[in-house]
């Protein structure tokens, strides 16, 4: 009976786990593509473009002709009369239309061009957001691979510690070992078990982070390791670029113009320069034409049934107490701010390319040494274990060798992750990612 209850409890405990869907596994390119097409931030950036286009439509409509129509019904009392004639009927319907044609509106024309620039800025901003989301997804993907590598090394260390503990326990039960040796081996095994659990949670956190970035319904897993192809010119070329972005993509420092953030700032600088250059148009006059037909029914004694009027409105600003000068100063300050930000981004980009290239070379050397150290440490573990089983060493040396092997394998996994991340950072810094 007890076995039946135990079997039933095991089945109930396994039922929720069996009901959970399998975790989706994605390649690196698929994960990045999913992130840049489904992430809500991308949708917000697309909405920003639509908003800028709507503003352009609103601003542009002010420089085109407009037609308005009105209908008014009026009832009065008493009705005025002159002799036997009614001067104004008791009820009249007045229908009028107006056509306004902007003839000379330089400020509105300038605002339309400025709004068109803002559409371009919004498009560049969406590209920059897309790049940021792609980089975040790539980093989450690499984090899964790194945590899994660490998990593999710790799992191997745990298995080695378990084998050593089982051997120590057998010796203790056979009367040839000591309880101290068994406790030492068990302590090492317990510590490795705890590290495995912590690393498993770290892997799950990274998977959940990737799932959020790709707008999935649950966590996502990495299906394979990405291959970052680094062009030779990025590793060997110097990162010197002109202070002001303007070089051709194929020329010296052309990679700088491939960065999404630099393109965004270039668009913002161009837009600010146009706004400042259009400041003088605030001093120009405006000319508009007006034509308005009118229908009155029934007509009055002194008011015709049909009439029309036309006018030309000429307006010129004369005195505004310094308002236009203040607007010009504000626009110049905005341009200086954007230019300074672009200069900062360009210097930072050159530094990122230099340090990323150096990081690749340094991490390649470090990875080679870390792998060699891991192989040597594992060999030490094997030799020490053989010597311990032969009675030439205590298990203190075995446990110490196991710890060193675990630490060196973890260091090798970290070095692999740092090299992958350095390659990604170089591609991002040079504007080559996402492609």
Residue 1 confidence (pLDDT)? 41
Q: Please give the Cα distance from 323 to 116 (Å, whole number).
A: 25
E strand spans, 257-376: 286-297, 306-315
Q: Are strands 306-315 and 286-297 parallel, antiparallel or unpaired?
A: antiparallel
Buried b (16+ CB within 10 A) or exposed e, 258-277: ebbbbbbbbbbbebbebbbe
Min mean pLDDT across 48-52, 74-78, 370-374, 420-424 is at: 74-78
Any domain includes 19? no
Preceding omega of 94 cis (within 30 degrees of 0): no
Output the CA–CA distances (angstroms, integers) from residue 165 to 65, 199, 244, 284, in the order listed: 90, 22, 66, 91
Domains: count for the chain: 1
pLDDT at 12: 40
The answer as to whether 434 is a domain residue is: no
Asked whether residue 80 is domain-assigned, the answer is no
Q: Which residues pair with 95 in a beta bridge?
A: 71, 295
Query: What DSSP character marks residue 287?
Result: E
Query: Is the pLDDT assigned to residue 18 strictly greater than 50?
Result: no
Residue 374 pLDDT exceeds 50: yes
**40 part of a folded domain:** no
If you average pLDDT over residues 71-79, what whole number do you get?
87
The answer, yes or no, to whether residue 239 has pLDDT greater than 70, is no
In a domain, 123, yes or no: yes
Please give the span between the terminal C-alpha atoms of the chain, in angstroms, as a whole number: 64
How much is the pLDDT for 340? 97
The owner of tokens 């006018």 is 311
Residue 100 lies in a domain: yes
Q: What is the pLDDT of residue 199?
A: 94
Which residue segment(s) compose the domain that 161 sits in? 45-71+88-316+325-429
Residue-level pLDDT at 20: 55
Q: What mean pLDDT is predicted for residues 69-84? A: 84
Residue 66 has pLDDT above 60, yes or no: yes
Specify if 257 maps to a domain.
Answer: yes
DSSP class of 207: H
Helix (H, G, I), strand (E, B) or coil at 87: coil
| Structural contact between residues 229 and 28, judged by C-beta atoms closer than 8 angstroms | no
394 inside domain: yes
- Whether 252 shows a pLDDT value over 70: the answer reads no
305 band by pLDDT with thresholds 50, 70 and 90: confident
Kindly report the CATH number assigned to the domain that includes residue 171: 1.20.1600.10
Element (H, E) at 94: strand 91-104
Instruction: Give the separation between CA 428 and CA 339, rounded to whole angstroms.
Output: 22
- Average confidence score pLDDT of the chain: 87
Give the span between the Cα atoms of 161 and 139, in whole angstroms.
33
């Amino acid at each position: 009976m007890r076995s039946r209850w135990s079997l039933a409890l095991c089945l109930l405990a396994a039922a929720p786990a069996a009901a959970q869907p399998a975790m989706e596994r994605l390649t690196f390119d698929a994960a990045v593509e999913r992130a840049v097409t489904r992430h809500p931030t991308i949708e917000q950036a697309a909405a920003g473009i639509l908003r800028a286009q709507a503003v352009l439509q609103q601003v542009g409509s002010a420089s085109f002709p407009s037609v308005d129509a009105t209908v008014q019904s009026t009832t009065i009392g008493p009705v005025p009369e002159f002799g036997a004639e009614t001067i104004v009927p008791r009820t009249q319907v007045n229908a009028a239309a107006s056509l306004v044609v902007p003839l000379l509106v330089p400020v509105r024309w300038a605002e339309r061009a400025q709004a068109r620039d803002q559409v371009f800025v919004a498009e560049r901003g969406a590209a920059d957001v897309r790049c940021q989301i792609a980089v975040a997804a790539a980093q989450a993907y690499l984090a899964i691979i790194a945590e899994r590598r660490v998990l593999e090394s710790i799992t191997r260390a745990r298995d080695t510690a378990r084998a050593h503990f089982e051997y120590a326990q057998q010796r203790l039960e056979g009367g040839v070992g000591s309880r101290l040796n068994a406790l030492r081996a068990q302590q090492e095994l317990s510590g490795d078990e705890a590290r495995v659990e912590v690393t498993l949670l770290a892997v799950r956190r990274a998977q959940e982070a990737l799932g959020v970035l790709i707008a999935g319904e649950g966590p996502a897993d990495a299906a394979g390791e990405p291959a970052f192809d680094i062009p030779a010119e990025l590793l060997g070329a110097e990162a010197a670029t002109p202070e002001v972005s303007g070089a051709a993509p194929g020329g010296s420092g052309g990679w700088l113009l491939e960065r999404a953030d630099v393109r965004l700032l270039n668009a913002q600088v161009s837009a600010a320069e146009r706004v400042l250059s259009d400041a003088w148009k605030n001093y120009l006059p405006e000319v508009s034409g007006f034509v308005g037909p009118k229908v009155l029914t029934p007509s009055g004694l002194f008011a015709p049934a049909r009439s029309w009027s036309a006018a030309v409105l000429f307006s010129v600003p004369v005195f505004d107490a310094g308002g236009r000068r203040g607007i010009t100063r504000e626009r110049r300050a905005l341009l200086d701010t954007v230019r300074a930000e672009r200069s900062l981004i360009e210097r930072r980009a050159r530094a990122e390319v230099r340090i990323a290239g150096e990081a690749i070379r340094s991490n390649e050397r470090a990875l080679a040494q870390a792998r060699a150290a891991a192989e040597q440490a594992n060999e030490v573990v094997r030799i020490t274990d053989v010597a311990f089983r032969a009675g030439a060493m205590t298990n203190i040396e075995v446990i110490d060798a196991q710890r060193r092997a675990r630490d060196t394998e973890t260091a090798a996994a970290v070095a692999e992750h740092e090299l992958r991340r350095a390659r990604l950072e170089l591609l991002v810094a040079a504007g080559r990612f996402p492609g």
